Amino acid sequence: MKRFGNEEGSALVEFAISSTIFFMLLFGIMDFSFGFYSFNFTAEAAKEAARYASVRGSCYDSTGKVTTNDLPDCGVTSDQVQTWVQNMGYPGINPSTTTVTTTWPNGSHLPKNNVKVVVDYKFPLNIPFWRSTSIQTESTSEMVISN
């Protein structure tokens, strides 16, 4: 009977099992927090990119005449907006997995027309003892071209 009543080492086994679950939960919470951070990044990046494109949307006024604009990059293109977002420099964000789609719903860069920016970001989710996957975050912002 004494042989089966010995509990030496049981605390070590209990600690190993409970610490594995605890650390998996802890790192999972931290990783999901980074996921929420990436969602906030896409929302902020879409808003700022739409503002960037609306301010630099056109080199023309509402009558179609060329304006003398102080901005050197008026008449912005989709590629310029994507480069601008990827160079924002948010810590922890991988710019290579960021996709920016810029459209002009009215088909015109003239003032008083809209510009629409969609930012997509794939956040890699790495939870210990869990399959590697990614969270797709997307945000859309639309503004009126001001000049």
Band of the pLDDT at 35, cuts 50, 70, 90?
confident
Band of the pLDDT at 4, cuts 50, 70, 90?
low
How far apart (Å, rounded) are the C-alpha atoms in residues 79 and 54?
Answer: 15
- The string of pLDDT tens digits covering residues 65-78 is 556 555 566 778 88
- The string of pLDDT tens digits covering residues 114-139 is 899 999 999 888 766 777 788 889 99
pTM of the model: 0.74
